[in-house]
Homo-oligomer: A and B are copies of this chain.
Amino acid sequence: MQIKHPYLMFLGNAADQLAAKTAQGIVHWRRDWCIGQLRLENCNADLGLPEMEVSEAAAAGVRTLVIGVANRGGIIGESWTATIVDAIEAGLDVASGLHARISEIPQIADAARANGAQLFDVRHPTQTFDVGTGARRPGKRLLAVGTDCSVGKMYTALAIEETLTARGIDCDFRATGQTGILISGSGVSVDAVVSDFISGATEWLAPANAVDHWDLVEGQGSLFHPSYAGVTMGLVHGSQPDALVLCHEPTRAHMRGLPHQNLPEIGACLDGHLAAAQLTNPEALFVGIAVNTSGMRDDDARAALLGGLSDRFSLPAVDPVRDGMAAIADRLEDI
């Protein structure tokens, strides 16, 4: 699977800017892949890209229409179908991050068949995977893990990719969720893989590589989240990480979606993920803590938190947005 760029970003009739969160992530990390945006009537989101019709986009060299917008219920808006079919007839592929499959809408599937277009429902893996083996393979790998879901694991992996690339270090971001897949053009939605194959799918995603090459694997969930820890465990074992970064959001009152579930203590969270990682890579170690401090208004409190974590665990503790990833990249250069 390789989604071709450049992209035309389809925003449909997005109710608000939040509904276009996936599209915004793509524009943030791959601005040069995003040539324009296409909005229908009553669209309340705006990516700040040039407005383009399908025909203009095709003429400008766009290869894929990207549906990076959430609709109520994750379904495909009926009003979207005509535009999607137009894009296919103009020679574009279509990639969607929605739960509902565009490939199951008859008009879209028929148009794709007739025009030889590819349809990518990136939440739904179509390939089959082998069972994971845990056998050591060459190449270096980093995995972002977290105290909870939605604490910045994708952002962290992408920010490290950006920093290493700027230093001339050979690396790839490896996507494990729908937004990441649209950002990298490939990947596997591991939470949609049959559970026997979680670690195997991750081994496929981050395969043997040159000894100095870094794969920067997007994490999912947390070993301490009762809903998703199985996914996380398979990711940890399959990615066989040399380096781990713990991602954290310090203002959260409880685990995401579970008011009865406390956040793990940071030390226990480091220990738990490290012990799991060492099953398939005895040399695994943490190289930093990435804290999303955007919810903290007080700069002194923010600095105290990061300084405290850094002192306590002898690791760089940074806010990836404010501080960047230089301190963590320095550690990676020592591995």
Question: Hey, which bits of chain A sit against chain B, CB under 8 A?
Answer: 131-136, 190-196, 198-200, 223-224, 226-235, 237-238, 257-258, 260-261, 272, 275-276, 279-280
- Residues of chain B within 8 A (CB-CB) of A276 are 223, 229
Closest to A201 in B: B195
11 A-B residue pairs with CB within 8 Å: A133-B226, A134-B260, A192-B196, A194-B194, A194-B195, A195-B230, A195-B231, A196-B228, A199-B230, A226-B237, A230-B231
Minimum CB–CB distance from A192 to chain B (whole Å) comes to 6
Minimum CB–CB distance from A281 to chain B (whole Å) comes to 10
Closest to A280 in B: B226
- Residues of chain B within 8 A (CB-CB) of A261 are 134
B230 touches A198 (CB 8 A): yes
Closest to A125 in B: B194
**A132→B229 CA distance, assembly (Å):** 10
Closest to A226 in B: B134
**A261→B131 CA distance, assembly (Å):** 15
- Residues of chain B within 8 A (CB-CB) of A133 are 226-227, 257-258, 260
**A86→B206 CA distance, assembly (Å):** 49
**A260→B232 CA distance, assembly (Å):** 23
B227 touches A230 (CB 8 A): no
A134 touches B237 (CB 8 A): no
Q: 3 closest Cβ contacts across the A-B interface?
A: A134-B226, A230-B234, A198-B230
Closest to A261 in B: B134
Closest to A133 in B: B258
- Residues of chain B within 8 A (CB-CB) of A190 are 195
Minimum CB–CB distance from A133 to chain B (whole Å) comes to 6
Given A134-B258, A272-B275: A229 touches B196 (CB 8 Å cut-off): no
**A237→B221 CA distance, assembly (Å):** 14
- Residues of chain B within 8 A (CB-CB) of A280 are 226
**A238→B226 CA distance, assembly (Å):** 7
Residue from the set A134, A199, A226 with the largest chain B CB neighbour count within 10 Å: A226
Minimum CB–CB distance from A109 to chain B (whole Å) comes to 22
- Residues of chain B within 8 A (CB-CB) of A260 are 133-136
Given A192-B196, A195-B194: A227 touches B258 (CB 8 Å cut-off): no
Residue from the set A132, A193, A200 with the largest chain B CB neighbour count within 10 Å: A132
Minimum CB–CB distance from A90 to chain B (whole Å) comes to 35
- Residues of chain B within 8 A (CB-CB) of A194 are 191-195
**A143→B5 CA distance, assembly (Å):** 49
B229 touches A200 (CB 8 A): no
Given A134-B260, A193-B194: A199 touches B223 (CB 8 Å cut-off): no
